[in-house]
Amino acid sequence: EVQLVESGGGLVQAGGSLRLSCAASGFTFDEYAIGWFRQAPGKEREGVSCISSSARTTYYADSVKGRFTISSDNAKNTVYLEMNSLKPEDTARYYCTADLWPDGSCFLYPSEYNYWGQGTQVTVSS
């Protein structure tokens, strides 16, 4: 059974940093693309970043480029999202996603992913 468990969310002041973690289990980690999405109340789910199998490719939404960094630790089956220079508009529930893409692709479209975690809340105060 595929499981994705997010952690690391919380309340932070604008300009601060957080590191989100996504612990994965139940699948061959280095064959899957992992994505981070977020959803604020009343808004659609938005792709934030993704990392391909074997970490060959990473993508970022324009809104987070230069501030967020995605990385993976295959030994721990964990993907991280380092978030710096946080802004109030980054406030949302952040979700980890995964799906089988062994060719080194990843996508920032939620429809491309079948497996989702429960999410972790990030709140940035001004």
Both tokens of residue 73? 């630790």
What's the Cα-to-Cα distance from 119 to each of 9, 53, 58, rounded to whole Å? 9, 21, 21
pLDDT above 90: residue 104 = no
- Tell me the average pLDDT of the chain: 95
Query: pLDDT by residue (tens digit) across 38-72?
Result: 999 999 999 999 999 888 899 999 999 999 999 99
